[in-house]
Amino acid sequence: MSSTEHLHRSRFRASFADPEQLLHAVKHLRTAGHRVLDTYTPFPVHGMDEAMGLRPSRLPRACLAFAVLGLALAAGLQIWTSAVDYPLITGGKPLLAIPAFIPVAFELTVLLAGLGVVASFFLVARMRPRLRIPDLHAGANDDRFILAAELAADIQFPAVAQELAGLGALDSGLLVEDRFQRRSAFWDRPAGVGALLLACLPAFLLLALVPVLNRDFQRRNLAWDGGMGAPLSAQAYDASGVLPSGKVLQAPPPDTLSRHGEPPLAFGPGKAEAERAGRELQNPYQPTQARFNRGKLVFERVCATCHGREGDNNGSVIVARGAFAPTVLVSPLVRDMPDGRLFHVATFGGPTKMKGYGDLLSREDRWQVVLYIRELQKAAKPAAAPAQATGAQP
Amino acid sequence: MAHDADVLTASGISAAEAERYGHNLPLIDGNKTYRQVTEEVFAPTERRPPLRWWLALAVTLSMLSLGAWAVVQTLTRGIGTWGLNRTVGWAFDITNFVFWVGIGHAGTLISAILFLFRQRWRTSINRAAEAMTLFAVMCAGTFPIIHMGRPWLAFWATPYPNSRGSLWVNFKSPLLWDVVAISTYFIISLAFWYIGLIPDLATQRDRAKTKLKRTILSIFSLGWNGSNRTWSRYETVYMLLAGLSTPLVVSVHTIVSMDFATSVIPGWHATIFPPYFVVGAVFSGFAMVLTLMIIARSVMGLEEYITTRHLEAMTKVVLATGMIVGMAYATEFFTAWYSGNPYERYVFLNRALGPYQWAYWTMVGCNVLSPQFFWFRKVRTTPWMIFILTIFVNIGMWFERFVIIVTSLHRDYLPSSWAMYRPTFIEVAILIGSFGLFFTLFLVFTRVLPMIAASEVKGVLKNVEH
């Protein structure tokens, strides 16, 4: 390798202090038949592309291609997710709401066009992190305007150097480039035990990946944050270890007012209160077909289980079981009770066994049930009257 | 010298007029050489910061930590620490979000739109203005993320394949448009800023004294050597990014305004919102650039780079956009009256004469009246006057968003649900924290990276059209 044949001696450099001089020198060298390889300047010198004979960059085409890709991607993503894979109607808009897709489509077009053209630029200009920069360009990022060129076949360098000096070059020189001798790179260094460990690392990582890749993809993901994915749920009638009453479902606080705008009922449970209710309360509703229907519905769902569908204990579950016979609603005893008294029973329960339904039925429903019981009593009259209440006036 | 005033220049105006309108004046004062530009631009990054820089950092870091404390309070105790209520469901956070996004708009406008319009004076300020854009968008982004309550699940706002069955984000929602627009804006602004920074990073690399600094800069400067083949492609890419950023910057605040305009709340449901918001954003952004530049140029001794000519050009933009914003305020009232919709009319009467009228008139005073002083050349060229007026504009533009959001929400259709909103200390602390974040990042930026685009300034040093 001591021979000098492999040394390349036809390239030279020159540096200038002024962009105009550099531009002039480039033009001059090109007309003289030399090949200008490149210039190195602290800022883009206008007119240099033409002087060097560079063609306009084709990066705009890359930009357009990426823009089209972004637009297609955005259109495909939005149409497929919104209209095909997850067809959820929101805001009464059609599933394929093209105007609503425009903003995201525009943004993704710009995003891909921008990132794409930057990536293309880095690729074609071979820009990547480099730890060493050749000395050729010293000052090119500061205040020097440098050119690198190749001598025309039959011209010797000293003559060119003189011309360049005449054009204002601060210095110029041949570039000696050894084509065979490569500087030993980072990758060529001999390495030791640390490198062995590094070499084993990918294998370990690969093995560690196996259980991850083997997992059942049908199962839920591992959620490190329990928060919204797994809320604590409690059933209404479960026991609670936290709440004071020991139950999940809490009674409303005392003196809680109904949200339906009704004033609180000024009666409590008990016989005396029941009689007072009989004296003081009037049924606020007049019998109509609608109230009859509602009263019938509520009666048959709630009351008929024990009192029978006709209010005569016929079909009563607890009578059939022999447990207890409720008061016959169509009996004269009940018929003679005022409406307010019946309402009180429906609300707070009867004198013996019946429980109150004040917390389950609305006040309106309880009054409507009272209306319905009156209708049952009217309907039962022909059958019951002769047997039990001979002296009753119609 | 007396008859110099009578000499006509090539463009047919007298030398005095040329001086007055800045024709063929150098963009950079002081007859600098290229070397001098390098030395002066990179000097702050190569010496230890002075005591006043550390004092400023102490203040901004305190603000930042106060904000961090408030964010921790919000996340651990819940959104109940904020003053939101039944009708005013979002107020301070969205006000601050829109405010910061708006601030961010000037950077892209200066770097992209002024570039396309060949406004060569932009070269002194574009680097710092773009950095300001990035920092402002960061500040803006924190607010919706905090409001989510579980910021670590913020990725749920992106469309990604998941194991929850068919489940995708709603592409018809303006809130999702917002996510996409702000993210795109941040990424493209970052790319634009970084591309512009590469040549200067290379200069910084060449000048680096320590090995660590040199290594880091070598990685980020991507082997830049000033090659003309690379410059040629670089200029193409820069032009393309400017072309892409120009509609992007308009789209971002348009989409932010659609968060409001596509709803049916009186006071928000207006077609004027997109242009009104975009202009407001430019207005507030330029005001913030001016505020920062006036401090930075005097603190860092860059008066010869950021000259009063630069300041004057920016104040003209502030004046023009301020008048458009004032026009928009008037148009809103006209539209409300002309619509014949009693709710719409009420909202605007309530804005100007209701319980938040102090906020409304602060906004009008700061945004419509204070820029009028910029009609006077004396004001336009006196930094301290510009500084005071731009502070007013910043305050006014913050109040504009507050007024639009809170006055439209606090009285809705049902008088029984009318409410008043006032921020809690936690909310104010988060706002202070966002200013802390913004100024901390800016202070660090001025000492780590060249605040002025040296390679671009060298290109216009001789203000000659090629």
pLDDT confidence band for A223 (50 / 70 / 90) = low
Q: In angstroms, rounded to a whole number, what is the distance separating the alpha carbons of residues A307 and A327?
A: 8
**Is there a domain that residue A388 lies in?**
no
C-alpha distance from residue A149 to each of A21, A28, A35, A286, B338 (Å): 16, 12, 5, 110, 72
A174 shares its domain with A279: no
Question: Which pLDDT score, from 0 to 100, does residue A1 have?
Answer: 39
Name the closest residue on chain A to residue B200, using Cα atoms: A141
A17 shares its domain with A134: yes
- Residue for token pair 């107020």: B91
Q: How far is CA B324 from the centre of its chain?
A: 18
Do B167 and A124 count as a contact with CB atoms less than 8 A apart? no
pLDDT confidence band for A229 (50 / 70 / 90) = low
A145 shares its domain with A32: yes
If you average pLDDT over every residue of chain B, what do you get? 87
Q: Which of B148, B155, B168, B171 to mutate to test the interface with A (most CBs of A within 10 A)?
A: B171
pLDDT confidence band for B444 (50 / 70 / 90) = very high
Angle at which helices B126-147 and B92-108 pack, to 10 degrees? Answer: 160
Q: What is the DSSP string of B339-382?
A: H--HHHHHHHHHHHHSTTHHHHHHHHIIIIIGGGGGGSHHHHT-
Read off the pLDDT of each residue in B247-270 and give the average, rounded to a whole number.
90
Domain span at residue A350 reads 271-382
**Does the pLDDT at position B419 exceed 60?**
yes
The last residue of one of the domains, among A178, A202, A236, is A178
Do A59 and B236 count as a contact with CB atoms less than 8 A apart? yes
Dihedral of alpha carbons B439, B441, B445, B447, sign: positive
**Is there a domain that residue B211 lies in?**
yes
**Is there a domain that residue B118 lies in?**
yes
pLDDT confidence band for B14 (50 / 70 / 90) = low
A99 close to B (CB below 8 A) = no
Question: Which pLDDT score, from 0 to 100, does residue B5 have?
Answer: 40
**Does the pLDDT at position A178 exceed 80?**
no
Question: Which pLDDT score, from 0 to 100, does residue A296 have?
Answer: 93
pLDDT confidence band for B24 (50 / 70 / 90) = low
Which one of B159, B171, B195 has the shortest CB-CB distance to A101?
Answer: B171
Check residues A340 and A142 and name the one with the higher pLDDT: A340
Read off the pLDDT of each residue in A1-13 and give the average, rounded to a whole number.
61
**Does the pLDDT at position A179 exceed 70?**
no
Least confident residue range of A158-167, A266-275, B382-391, B405-414: A158-167
A217 close to B (CB below 8 A) = yes
Q: What is the percent of chain B where pLDDT is above 70? A: 93
Q: In angstroms, rounded to a whole number, what is the distance separating the alpha carbons of residues A182 and B241?
A: 38
Question: Which pLDDT score, from 0 to 100, does residue A301 have?
Answer: 92
pLDDT confidence band for B46 (50 / 70 / 90) = confident
**Does the pLDDT at position A4 exceed 60?**
no
Q: Which of A107, A147, A218 to mutate to test the interface with B (most CBs of B within 10 A)?
A: A107
**Is there a domain that residue A200 lies in?**
no
By the 10 Å C-beta count (0-12 exposed, 13-18 middle, 19+ buried), B26 is classed as middle
Which one of B166, B174, B226 has the shortest CB-CB distance to A141?
Answer: B226
**Does the pLDDT at position A278 exceed 80?**
yes
Check residues B245 and A243 and name the one with the higher pLDDT: B245
Chain B residues in contact with A82 (beta carbon < 8 A) = 168, 170-172
Q: Which of B123, B214, B225 to mutate to test the interface with A (most CBs of A within 10 A)?
A: B225
Q: Which among B194, B452, B193, B198 is positioned nearest to B300, based on CA atoms? A: B452
pLDDT confidence band for A222 (50 / 70 / 90) = low
Chain A residues in contact with B234 (beta carbon < 8 A) = 44, 121, 125
**Is there a domain that residue B42 lies in?**
no
Question: Which pLDDT score, from 0 to 100, does residue A387 have?
Answer: 43
Q: How many CB atoms lie within 10 A of CB B214?
A: 16
**Is there a domain that residue A387 lies in?**
no
Question: Which pLDDT score, from 0 to 100, does residue A258 have?
Answer: 67
Do A48 and B228 count as a contact with CB atoms less than 8 A apart? yes
**Does the pLDDT at position B278 exceed 70?**
yes
Q: What is the percent of chain A where pLDDT is above 70? A: 85
Q: Which residues contact B290 (CB under 8 A, 6 or more apart)?
A: B311, B314, B315, B318, B386, B387, B390
Q: What is the DSSP string of B18-84?
A: HHHHTTT--SSSS---HHHHHHHHHHHHHSPPPHHHHHHHHHHHHHHHHHHHHHHHHHHH-GGGS--
Q: List the structure tokens of B89.
A: 């469901």
Question: Which pLDDT score, from 0 to 100, does residue B41 have?
Answer: 86
Least confident residue range of A188-202, B8-22, B330-344: B8-22
Q: In angstroms, rounded to a whole number, what is the distance separating the alpha carbons of residues A96 and A92?
A: 12
The total number of residues shown for chain A amounts to: 394
What total number of domains does chain B contain? Answer: 1
- Give the pairing of strands A35-40 and A145-150: antiparallel
pLDDT confidence band for B200 (50 / 70 / 90) = very high
Domain span at residue B194 reads 52-159+168-459
Q: Which among B290, B278, B298 is positioned nearest to B393, based on CA atoms? A: B290
Which residue type is seen at A174?
Answer: L
What do you get for the CA distance between the two ends of chain B, in Å? Answer: 30
Question: Shortest Cα distance from A14 to chain B (angstroms)?
Answer: 14
Question: Which pLDDT score, from 0 to 100, does residue B318 have?
Answer: 92
* C-beta separation of B185 from B105 below 8 A: no
Question: Which pLDDT score, from 0 to 100, does residue B21 have?
Answer: 52
**Does the pLDDT at position A290 exceed 90?**
yes
Do B172 and A97 count as a contact with CB atoms less than 8 A apart? yes
Question: Which pLDDT score, from 0 to 100, does residue A188 have?
Answer: 67
Chain B residues in contact with A125 (beta carbon < 8 A) = 229-230, 233-234
**Does the pLDDT at position B147 exceed 80?**
yes
pLDDT digits 0-9 by tens, A324-360: 888 899 998 899 999 999 999 999 998 888 889 988 8
| Partners of A11 in the β-ladder | A150, A175
Chain B residues in contact with A20 (beta carbon < 8 A) = none
Question: Shortest Cα distance from B261 to chain A (angstroms)?
Answer: 14
**Is there a domain that residue A285 lies in?**
yes
Read off the pLDDT of each residue in B54-76 and give the average, rounded to a whole number.
92
Give the best-scoring range by mean pLDDT among A222-236, A336-350, A377-391: A336-350
What total number of domains does chain A contain? Answer: 2
Do B33 and A93 count as a contact with CB atoms less than 8 A apart? no
Q: Which of A13, A23, A110 to mutate to test the interface with B (most CBs of B within 10 A)?
A: A110
Do B224 and A108 count as a contact with CB atoms less than 8 A apart? no
Check residues B447 and B1 and name the one with the higher pLDDT: B447
Name the closest residue on chain A to residue B39, using Cα atoms: A142
**Is there a domain that residue B44 lies in?**
no
> Which domain CATH number covers B132?
1.20.1630.10
**Does the pLDDT at position B457 exceed 80?**
yes
Question: Which pLDDT score, from 0 to 100, does residue A231 have?
Answer: 66
pLDDT confidence band for B12 (50 / 70 / 90) = very low
Question: Which pLDDT score, from 0 to 100, does residue A390 have?
Answer: 40
pLDDT confidence band for B48 (50 / 70 / 90) = confident
> Which domain CATH number covers A342?
1.10.760.10
Q: List the structure tokens of A244.
A: 């004071």
Question: Which pLDDT score, from 0 to 100, does residue B432 have?
Answer: 95
**Does the pLDDT at position A386 exceed 80?**
no
Q: What is the value of ipTM here, to two decimals? A: 0.89
The last residue of one of the domains, among A123, A157, A178, is A178
Which one of B181, B195, B459 has the shortest CB-CB distance to A107?
Answer: B181
Q: In angstroms, rounded to a whole number, what is the distance separating the alpha carbons of residues B451 and B466?
A: 26
Question: Shortest Cα distance from A284 to chain B (angstroms)?
Answer: 30
pLDDT digits 0-9 by tens, A51-93: 888 888 889 999 999 999 999 999 999 999 988 888 888 878 8
**Is there a domain that residue B36 lies in?**
no
pLDDT digits 0-9 by tens, A31-41: 888 888 888 88
C-alpha distance from residue B286 to each of B51, B103, B301, B321, B361 (Å): 29, 8, 21, 9, 22
Question: Which pLDDT score, from 0 to 100, does residue B20 have?
Answer: 53
Give the best-scoring range by mean pLDDT among A33-37, A257-261, B290-294, B431-435: B431-435
Give the best-scoring range by mean pLDDT among A6-20, B2-16, B346-360: B346-360
Least confident residue range of B6-15, B222-231, B265-274: B6-15
Least confident residue range of A206-210, A212-216, B150-154: A212-216
Question: Shortest Cα distance from B379 to chain A (angstroms)?
Answer: 35
**Is there a domain that residue B437 lies in?**
yes
Name the closest residue on chain B to residue A141, using Cα atoms: B203
**Does the pLDDT at position B23 exceed 70?**
no
Q: In angstroms, rounded to a whole number, what is the distance separating the alpha carbons of residues A182 and A315?
A: 107
A114 close to B (CB below 8 A) = yes
**Helical spans, DSSP H, in A86-156:** 98-124
Do B251 and A103 count as a contact with CB atoms less than 8 A apart? yes
Question: Which pLDDT score, from 0 to 100, does residue B406 have?
Answer: 92
pLDDT confidence band for A318 (50 / 70 / 90) = confident
A45 close to B (CB below 8 A) = yes
Do B233 and A125 count as a contact with CB atoms less than 8 A apart? yes
**Is there a domain that residue B410 lies in?**
yes
Q: In angstroms, rounded to a whole number, what is the distance separating the alpha carbons of residues A227 and B78?
A: 13
Q: List the structure tokens of B361.
A: 């008139």
pLDDT confidence band for B25 (50 / 70 / 90) = low
pLDDT confidence band for B7 (50 / 70 / 90) = very low
Phi, psi of B32 (to 5 degrees): -85, 150
Q: In angstroms, rounded to a whole number, what is the distance separating the alpha carbons of residues A272 and A266?
A: 13
Chain A residues in contact with B232 (beta carbon < 8 A) = 44, 48-49, 54, 57
Check residues A383 and B33 and name the one with the higher pLDDT: B33
A124 close to B (CB below 8 A) = yes
The last residue of one of the domains, among A128, A162, A178, is A178
Which one of A54, A86, A90 has the shortest CB-CB distance to B232?
Answer: A54
Helix and strand counts by DSSP (H, E) for chain B:
18, 0
**Is there a domain that residue B357 lies in?**
yes
**Helical spans, DSSP H, in B148-302:** 174-207, 211-220, 228-261, 273-299
A275 shares its domain with A174: no
Read off the pLDDT of each residue in B362-375 and give the average, rounded to a whole number.
93
pLDDT digits 0-9 by tens, B77-133: 888 889 888 888 888 899 999 999 999 888 888 888 888 887 777 888 888 889 999
Question: Shortest Cα distance from B449 to chain A (angstroms)?
Answer: 15
Q: Tell me the residues of chain A between 257 and 316 that have a Cβ less than 8 Å away from chain B.
A: none
Q: What is the percent of chain B where pLDDT is above 90? A: 46
pLDDT confidence band for B19 (50 / 70 / 90) = low
pLDDT confidence band for B15 (50 / 70 / 90) = low
Dihedral of alpha carbons B34, B36, B39, B40, sign: negative
* C-beta separation of A334 from A328 below 8 A: yes
